[in-house]
Amino acid sequence: MKAEATERELKASGTVYRWDLDKTYLSTDFDSFKGLVRAAFEKAADKRTFPGAQVLLRELCATNPKGVYILSGSPQQMRGVIVEKLALDGITYDGLVLKPSLNKLLRGRFRFLRDQVSYKLHALLSSRLAVGDECDEVMFGDDAEADAFVYSLYADLCSGAVGLNVLASILEASRAYDDDAAALLELARAVPKQDVARRIFIHLERVEPSTVFADFGRRVCAFHNYFQPAVVLLEDGLVDADVVMRVGLELVRSHAFSPEALAASYADLARRRMVGTRTHGALLSAVTAFKPASVEGAEAMTALGDALRAQEPDEEPAPPRLDEPLDYMALLPSDKARATRAKLRARARPRH
């Protein structure tokens, strides 16, 4: 047991975690004018996190990773309230980058307001140069913007799978400003070539099917709730099973999830070959040994154990590494079309 813990700590200490904020960590409504206004004027204490997100991120911070970096499309003017919110949640981090929207707007750069590709890619590559040492990266984003596209492109630029000529074509197609494109090409040229991306998690905030990002390969794991990435991180050896239990218990206790819903979330991962028998066994052992403080929690763990016993995977997990490079010039328009369809569906949903 001691050797296993040491190995896990070594893995975690060489890992960088990157998190988006809105629609990934914070439950923010950007699909309506009312939602935009509310997000701009909300106090830190009133901002809501997605169920289980706070627990999982706090647990990842506690593994003493190489770094935790937060990259958001929120404007820089919101830094104070975001810093306060993260402090209230007990989240420690090594970097927080917000979008300089007002500065760009005052300079007449209106396209920048909608641009996620060049903005986020510049922040990621700059951060990678600052991190320096060789280390794996785990990235969290959502399906509302181009996170799957940007994270994947960033990973393949770092590994050398995508060349500068492809990047130049992507930046031209995404209508990046010339000087921004030139700066990005320099950063991509300078970044050390390492296969850095261990896993890319995409939160399905818009209630899409988990197969919606299949074109990005197995490196991208779309998820419906935070129990799912906790389980996959267990599979990857970055957290122990007790972390998964704490995330699951938070969902049951504070957010009305049923143990059966958690087991169904696990079964979805097993069907997609994201987890295997080793993780299944670790979860069963943990659910038996885990001792929640409340009777409700103990009953939930018992029910979760019963449900998991019927969900043993039929196949072992498939490796997350890509077999062949992605066709980003084909993915860019299809990802934009997907985001537009999802946004229209979100606007059509009734709001309470």
Residue 232 contacts residue 221 (beta carbons within 8 Å)? yes
Alpha-carbon distance of 236 to 215, in angstroms, equals 22
pLDDT at position 333: 72
The predicted pLDDT at position 133 comes to 75
Using an 8 Å Cβ cutoff, are 251 and 226 in contact? yes
Tokens 């770094």 sit on residue: 67
DSSP H helices, 160-240, are: 164-173, 178-190, 227-235
Tokens linked to 194: 């390492």
Cβ atoms within 10 Å, residue 8? 16
Residue 71 pairs in a beta bridge with 97
How many residues in the chain?
352
Contact of 197 with 137, CB cutoff 8 Å: yes
The pLDDT value given to residue 2: 35
Q: Which residues of the chain have pLDDT under 70?
A: 1-13, 29-41, 100-115, 207, 323, 335-352
CA distance 209 to 138: 22
Structure tokens at 290: 């885990």
SS3 assignment for 96-132? EEEECHHHHHHCCCHHHHCCCHHHHHHHHHHHHHHHC
Structure tokens at 199: 């896993």
Specify the pLDDT at position 33: 40
Q: In the chain, what are the domains?
A: 2-224 (3.40.50.1000)
| Joined tokens for residue 261 | 């819903």
User: Whole-prediction pTM value?
Assistant: 0.88
At residue 274, the 3 state secondary structure works out as: coil
CA-to-CA distance for 30 and 191, rounded, in angstroms? 33
Distance between CA atoms of 267 and 45, rounded to whole angstroms?
A: 35
Q: Under a CB-based contact definition with an 8 Å cutoff, are residues 200 and 151 in contact?
A: yes
In whole angstroms, give the CA distance from residue 250 to residue 254. 6
Q: What number of other Cβ atoms are within 10 A of residue 35's Cβ?
A: 13
What pLDDT is recorded for position 13? 61
Cβ-contact 16, 139 below 8 angstroms: no
pLDDT the model gives residue 50: 95
Q: Give yes or no for a contact between 117 and 176, defined as CB atoms under 8 angstroms apart.
A: yes
Q: State residue 191's pLDDT score.
A: 94
Token pair belonging to 232: 């996959």
Token pair for residue 128?
Answer: 């990678």
What is the structure's pLDDT at 162? Answer: 94
pLDDT tens across 295-332, in order?
A: 778 888 888 888 888 888 878 888 877 767 899 998 88
143 closest CA partner among 226, 61, 208, 80: 208
CA distance 64 to 105: 38
